[in-house]
Structure 1
């Protein structure tokens, strides 16, 4: 995940994806000129069809896959494989090959961390492979209907019935598998209104999905209840739930640790304060963007799909 090979793979994905990944948007006017005929989501899907899947061994029998939208956790053992998130459906051959490189054990369980397509559009083939799908009730509800995401200018269609979670929970759920008592717990609205964390206590590994983008500005999806204040609250909760020994799997970015969670929380708090102060002075969105409230953070956090100006817009929208 943190190797040069991984960094090259990520750069290639970005160049083919037009600086865009699911859960994040760069305004269409700055997409590559040759990609103008395609919308941002179509560009992502096209890129995911050929993107390399990287496998990182974490601790014990838990691995992380990246390269198909959101990061995928894999718990492997004699009972089979349990996955957290499904990636993008067109990545199936590459994800399947990566899973087989871990073991030939069948896929038995899939947990959806939230509804976004880069975490769920692989649900159908993973269910067909034999997995029972677990998800929050709100996640299932979103996946049963069309959702127009204004910032992406894209309408997501419902998933087929066989791709929907069938084991549902409202606030928390426990699942015993391969010797791990996996604890799933929801957040208050943050990245969306249906975010969940997934904790593997024996290994002390916490998958926080898109409530944490490691070293990147995050997307906040206001179309389904996202909130900058909720992101800050979720980040603080993630810090409180971890120790210096905990391995953190972010929704996007490299495998993380508690110190990086603390940096992420501090960045969110500071930028929110700066943007709110300017907005309360009566400044327009254009004026606030021109003031560059993210400038001191852009070098570290603006190197992936969301740049400082776009993140300023997202924060402005929520304060």
Structure 2
């Protein structure tokens, strides 16, 4: 997800965007310069997108794809979650005859009004033509593509409650979107059931699918390796454990802040204010689980 200062999609965002395509590995390319990273896979005469950026950039994205892949048709878009920076191309994709794949909760959030208090905005329900048309609820999913298979798997409650990672086994690339945040504290979206313990578990799951050569694609920024994933996992584990201990002793949020629970991580991830507020508030609903969070 883009920073809170840039959270109103439209002309203002589009004016900032200059989408560029860079080869990633094999049949994969990375599109940057918009609201969030987009991964495009090409095989035969077909394209597959993982996330589609902001709606304001949909026309620009269509032109970019046509320029680089003039004889390809868009087969599918996989939404890693519901946020506008990932799902803004859905309507264009559906209009072009492509499928939009997502977890059922992603479709739920897109189809209902969402009051995102931490952003100070309300998201209106999206029209039916913008919704995922192929969803799943549980179990690993596999999409045949280019003679192989693309995996996409639900990660539970983490950044949101509908997050999936997408894995391209042949290229050894995992698209993790907003689960992985290498240089800033991650967003734990309280509006759609995110929680820090779940994010830690999601990072553990992703790390287990990596080897030393795996590239992991975050929502924002350059690809990273497994070490960055494990570092963020360790940070999440430490912070959620400290939040839990503060709850168990009856401490207040101000007392948690006074204990500086992120002090050894701030040099890497920056200002923890929003992260701690979101993590503290959402952890309340999981207070009985915190001591069972596995490292």
Aligned length: 281
* Pick aligned residue for 1:253 from 204, 217, 221: 221
Distance 1:141-1:318 versus aligned 2 partners, 3 A rule: closer
CA RMSD, 1 decimal: 2.1
User: CA deviation digits over 1:100-122, x for unaligned, max 9?
Assistant: 45322232211111111111122
Aligned mates of 2:105, 2:282 — CA distance in 1: 21
**Contact 2:90–2:130 under 8 Å retained in 1:** yes
CA contact (8 A) 1:292 1:309 kept: no
Runs of 4+ aligned residues of structure 1 deviating over 3 Å after TM superposition are 274-283
Please tell me whether the aligned partners of residues 45 and 88 of structure 1 are also in contact (alpha carbons under 8 angstroms).
Answer: no
Which of 277-286 and 172-181 deviates more?
277-286
Give the TM-score normalised by structure 2.
0.87
From 258, 272, 284, the equivalent of 2:240 is 272
Structure 1 distance, partners of 2:258, 2:35, is: 31
CA pair 245-45 structure 1, distance change in 2 beyond 3 A: farther
SS at match of 1:135: strand
Deviation readout 1:69-111 (Å, 9 max, x if unpaired):
2321100122321101111010123323432453222322111
Q: Please tell me whether the aligned partners of residues 68 and 95 of structure 1 are also in contact (alpha carbons under 8 angstroms).
A: no
TM-aligned CA deviation for residue 52 of structure 1: 2.0
The residue number in structure 2 matching 1:69 is: 35
Paired position in structure 2 for 1:126: 93
CA distance in 2, matches of 1:182, 1:153: 37
Q: For 1:54 and 1:317, how far apart are their aligned partners in 2? A: 38
**Structure 2: gaps (5+ residues):** 284-295
| Aligned-pair CA distance for 1:193 | 0.9
Q: Which SS does the other structure have where 2:188 is aligned?
A: coil
Q: Does 1:184 align with 2:152?
A: yes
Within the candidate set 81, 100, 106, 1:139 is matched to 106
Partner Cα separation in structure 2 for residue 247 and residue 300 of structure 1? 20
**Residue aligning to 2:184:** 216
TM-score scaled by length of structure 1: 0.81
Distance 1:43 1:142 in 2: 17
Separation of aligned partners in 2, 1:298 and 1:100:
42
Distance in 2 (alpha carbons) for counterparts of 1:247 and 1:175: 20
Listed as ranges, the gaps of 5+ residues in structure 1 are: 1-20, 26-30, 32-39
